[in-house]
Amino acid sequence: MSSWVNNKPSADTAGSHSAAAAILGIDTGGTFTDLVFMDPSGRCRRWKVLSTPKDPSRAIVQGLKELLGDFRPQDLEIVHGTTVGTNAFLERKGARTCLITTRGFEDILLIGRQNRPALYDFMVRRPKPVIEGRDIIGIDERTLFDGTILSEPSLEELKEAYALCRNRGIESIAVCLLHSYANPENEKMIASFFRKQGMITCPSHEIMPEFREYERTSTTVLNAYLGPVIGRYVRRLEDSLPGSTILIQQSNGGCRPSGDIGNFAVTTLLSGPAGGVAASLELGRALGCTNIITFDMGGTSTDVSLCSGDFTYTREYNIEGYPVGLPMIDIHTVGAGGGSIAWIDRGGLMKVGPESAGADPGPVCYGRGDKITVTDANLFLGRLRARDFLGGRMRLRKRRVNRFMESLAGKLGLSPEETALGIIQLVNINMVQAIRAVSLERGFDPREFVLVSFGGAAGLHCMEIAGELGIQRIIIPEMAGVFSAQGMAAADLVFEGSAAVFLTSRGNIRPQLEKVFDKLIRKLKNSMNRSPGGDDLDVRRFLDVRYKGQSFEITIPFNSKWEQEFHLCHKRLYGYDLPETSLEVTAVRCRLKIQRNCGQGVSARLEEESRHSSHRGEKNVRTTRIVFENGIRKVPVINKGELSLEDGFSGPLLMVDEFTTVLVPEGWSIKEHSGHILAERL
């Protein structure tokens, strides 16, 4: 197995971090909140507590007390991945928001692109809107496509709009005017007026100064809708941890200070999953694997992403019909996690997910839930051991699962074993389809990639899923159960911005592009709340390019050969190129990254956890009975913390760790490498 692992850290990771203050990565999920504490020497401690959905900060404070005892918040630098914004949107619990737009364009969110989610389905239901129609106000103003201002909004009209907002209890204002990407002066005027009245205001030119009115409006509205919710949550967290430095993980893989995160709330929609992808990419590089597929299976959902040497970004993320036009790591999410509920549809067929039992009431085995979940099925089949869960801190109730499983099986006319195996098969199918969506459907062969498997539930499914896809190799990180939190602890500060341009590649347009880039970079530096001088500032520049006459663009790095790179990229994606056709540049993008001092990142080693695990010091190999499709097998149970895996083991077997369990089926072998588990198909 050593043939596919580079035993030396890559140039990207070796020696790239210096000594640091104490750092804490926090990943708040739907079921568990994960914490990774990294001391100045780079040693790590980890912890996991049940989430508290009504107030996620409660679980964070509880987890900190359990992990660190008498901790002093002022000594901590915290990077937090949060689902507060995502949940507020899904549950439609954001701030009451008013959209101010150019008169005549009030219906832009309703009309959208006129795309039907299901072309022949006449019973399609539109998602619940985030803004009521009566909270959309049209203003008499007009800016032309070239930035020429024909008319400005009048003060009287703005006063009338403010009176309406005050009477309707509006909390946040989204301002998105026609062609404001070309000249934002009218938006600035409106934003200034409402801010002087003390209202939270989000103008589109501060979020997404680009053309495509629908995407810009949708992104701006979501930001305004979620901003007050995120802002209140962060302030509550800061009050609970006085003196600590809090950074918020963004969907682009980096983090930013919490102080202004309310102004950029839409960047947190994939906050949690992005941390895991960033950590996977760094680990893959350290082990010499440049092509990876990340597989993050938690309690509520599964998140997958493909990295071919670097992050794969998208500006076409869509959440319940609302597009988000900002660059995000391309992460595909499915409602398939340990807490996914098994249910019977009207036709009598069993389905699994997307509804989840979450942390409250949780799976049946937690003691309060009454609906069978994937975790319950794994426990029933012997793949999950009640005494090993969370190192023995949380005992699972197998007898209770047996009773509920028999009830579900009776309704289906199956045996309990067949029912439990069916649940596993169904959830595996959902996750296989998710990986195909980010690989095969985008021109990548998953067999050429290494699967990086993490999240509390991933180890029980990763090898079966890899086998279905033809993937031969799997990396299970040392801290797989809390790997996203570890990635957050190592995240760099990232600030992004864009500017609309419309330039055709006739002659040398590089000087014009350089001028736009210089202005954008100065703007980003001014927004950083620190002087980013020195070698720690990494500036990356990109262009949105298309063939003249096309409707959509490809984002490529800006360098001396950007035109050739566009032709090559277009051919790889679409099978052809048009080298004689003029190119159009529609936007420039900048990503400024500041490296944080965060120990050894994902290479940091885990401290001894003898005080937590119920099986530390237990040298004997135990056995357990597991139900497979071909019958019941008696297999060994290996405690990862006590037994050396240097010589490797072949399945079937069960490997238990404090925060994850790994099922190694027949035909697979595992071996340890620097604390990580490397699995390979025989």
Q: What are the tens digits of pLDDT across the range 249-299? A: 999 999 999 988 999 999 999 888 999 999 999 999 999 999 999 999 988
Q: How confident is residue 387, by pLDDT bands cut at 50, 70 and 90?
A: confident
Q: How confident is residue 601, by pLDDT bands cut at 50, 70 and 90?
A: low
- Mean predicted lDDT score pLDDT of the chain: 88
Give the domain-ending residue among 568, 594, 620: 594
Helix/strand/coil (H/E/C) assignment for every residue in 50-73: ECCCCCHHHHHHHHHHHHHCCCCH
Q: 643 and 656 in one domain?
A: yes
| Cβ proximity of 648 and 1 under 8 Å | yes
User: Encoding tokens for residue 107?
Assistant: 């219906």
Residue 611 is predicted with a pLDDT of 39
Q: 464 and 382 in one domain?
A: yes
Domain contains 82: no
Phi, psi of 150 (to 5 degrees): -85, -40
Q: pTM for this one?
A: 0.87
Dmax of the chain from CA atoms?
82
Residue 160 is predicted with a pLDDT of 96
Q: 391 and 288 in one domain?
A: yes
Give the domain-ending residue among 197, 228, 259: 228
Distance from C-alpha of 166 to C-alpha of 197, rounded to nearest angstrom? 10
Element (H, E) at 217: helix 213-240
Domain contains 548: yes
Domain contains 428: yes
> Taking the CA of residue 606 as centre, how many other CA atoms within 13 Å lie in the half-sphere pointing to its CB?
23
Percent of the chain with pLDDT over 70: 91
Residue 6 is predicted with a pLDDT of 52
Across 476-491, average pLDDT: 92
Q: How confident is residue 673, by pLDDT bands cut at 50, 70 and 90?
A: confident
DSSP 642: T
DSSP 373: B
How many Cβ atoms are within 10 Å of 616's Cβ, its own excluded? 16
Q: 318 and 397 in one domain?
A: yes
Distance from C-alpha of 401 to C-alpha of 418, rounded to nearest angstrom? 15
Report the DSSP beta bridge partners of residue 332. Answer: 304
Q: What are the tens digits of pLDDT across the range 615-643? A: 444 445 689 999 999 899 999 998 887 66
Q: 171 and 291 in one domain?
A: no
What CATH number should be reported for the domain holding residue 108? 3.40.50
Domain contains 609: yes
What CATH number should be reported for the domain holding residue 560? 3.30.1490
Number of domains in the chain: 3
How many Cβ atoms are within 10 Å of 580's Cβ, its own excluded? 5
Q: How confident is residue 650, by pLDDT bands cut at 50, 70 and 90?
A: very high
Q: 477 and 553 in one domain?
A: no
Residue 16 is predicted with a pLDDT of 35
Q: 518 and 466 in one domain?
A: no
| Cβ proximity of 415 and 256 under 8 Å | no
Q: 410 and 312 in one domain?
A: yes
Q: What are the tens digits of pLDDT across the range 365-385? A: 999 899 999 999 999 999 998
**More confidently predicted of 90 and 398:** 398
Across 17-28, average pLDDT: 73
Domain contains 44: no
Distance from C-alpha of 210 to C-alpha of 489, rounded to nearest angstrom? 32
Q: 420 and 329 in one domain?
A: yes
Q: How confident is residue 13, by pLDDT bands cut at 50, 70 and 90?
A: very low
Q: What is the CA radius of gyration of the chain?
A: 26
Give the domain-ending residue among 194, 228, 262: 228
Residue 643 is predicted with a pLDDT of 64
Across 141-158, average pLDDT: 96
Q: 498 and 486 in one domain?
A: no
| Cβ proximity of 105 and 138 under 8 Å | yes
Q: What are the tens digits of pLDDT across the range 460-482? A: 999 999 999 999 999 999 999 99
Q: What are the tens digits of pLDDT across the range 396-427? A: 999 999 999 999 999 999 999 999 999 999 99
* Domain extent at residue 481: 1-19+270-490+598-682
Q: 664 and 611 in one domain?
A: yes
Percent of the chain with pLDDT over 90: 66
Domain contains 166: yes
Q: 636 and 650 in one domain?
A: yes
Q: How confident is residue 674, by pLDDT bands cut at 50, 70 and 90?
A: confident
